[in-house]
A and B are shown apart, each in its own frame.
Chain A
Amino acid sequence: QKEVEQDPGPLSVPEGAIVSLNCTYSNSAFQYFMWYRQYSRKGPELLMYTYSSGNKEDGRFTAQVDKSSKYISLFIRDSQPSDSATYLCAMSERSGGSNYKLTFGKGTLLTVNP
């Protein structure tokens, strides 16, 4: 079983829709959960960072972590064409002091149509 699984999509939604992106994982040692946005041929950009189970909101973005189910989600409200990108989930366990090796999902390609 792969450590982090993410539906690659592609996902196409109309402007204004609510988008739900999800990842599952198998490694119980993962403690930190992140969502990155990656535009084509650019570096990943950190969107959300969470540690505990529950919800974290930042503007139109809500990150949800359910450690008991090993499942994380990112919700985007009122989606905009500028949200069109690949969304990567990433997770880490503490390794070697304060270094954090991230394990990424494969990414979900999202297109928001005007």
Chain B
Amino acid sequence: EPEVTQTPSHQVTQMGQEVILRCVPISNHLYFYWYRQILGQKVEFLVSFYNNEISEKSEIFDDQFSVERPDGSNFTLKIRSTKLEDSAMYFCASSVVRAGELFFGEGSRLTVL
């Protein structure tokens, strides 16, 4: 069964460092998303991406965040200068045109020290 894969599964970094989280969406999907879940909190929308550009972003997704689809398979989330409050599980998701049926990866746990 096709699935969304994410790497790394866990990354520990020092505050102020840059982090890149990587995702390989399901191959025939066209829409890509990043969500995050701070421990004990709701899953929150960060950004949606289609046709090589951002479609929508939340207020969380400030100038420290960026997304890119560098080739035909990968979708990345970059955090330029990490803060303690960026510690969370980051989920990549993808979907086809059909409304709302997002398929999530297993997540990348980011710990900022």
**Given contact pairs A32-B99, A104-B44, A44 touches B91 in the complex (Cβ within 8 A):** yes
How many residue pairs at the A-B interface have CB separations less than 8 Å? 75
Which one, A33, A43, A101, A106, contacts B56 given CB within 8 A? Answer: A101
- B48 near A101 (CB under 8 angstroms)? yes
The A-contacting residues of B in range 70-113, CB under 8 angstroms, are 89, 91, 95, 97, 99-107, 109
Residues of A near any B CB (own CB < 8 A):
31-34, 36, 41-46, 49, 51, 88, 90, 92, 94-107
- A96 near B100 (CB under 8 angstroms)? no
Q: Is B45 positioned at the interface, with any CB of A under 8 Å from its CB?
A: yes
Residues of B near any A CB (own CB < 8 A):
4, 31, 33, 35, 41-45, 48, 50, 55-56, 58, 89, 91, 95, 97, 99-107, 109
Closest to A103 in B: B45
Expressed in whole angstroms, the Cα–Cα distance for A31 and B35 within the complex equals 20
- B102 near A98 (CB under 8 angstroms)? no
Q: Which 7 A-B pairs rank lowest in CB-CB distance, beginning with the nearest?
A: A32-B100, A43-B104, A99-B48, A99-B55, A104-B43, A96-B55, A43-B106
Closest to B50 in A: A99
Point out the residues of chain B lying under 8 angstroms from A90, CB to CB: 43, 100
Expressed in whole angstroms, the Cα–Cα distance for A104 and B43 within the complex equals 6
Expressed in whole angstroms, the Cα–Cα distance for A43 and B101 within the complex equals 14
Point out the residues of chain B lying under 8 angstroms from A98, CB to CB: 31, 50, 97, 99
Minimum distance in angstroms from B103 CB to a CB of chain A: 7
- B55 near A97 (CB under 8 angstroms)? yes
Expressed in whole angstroms, the Cα–Cα distance for A97 and B104 within the complex equals 20
Expressed in whole angstroms, the Cα–Cα distance for A90 and B44 within the complex equals 11
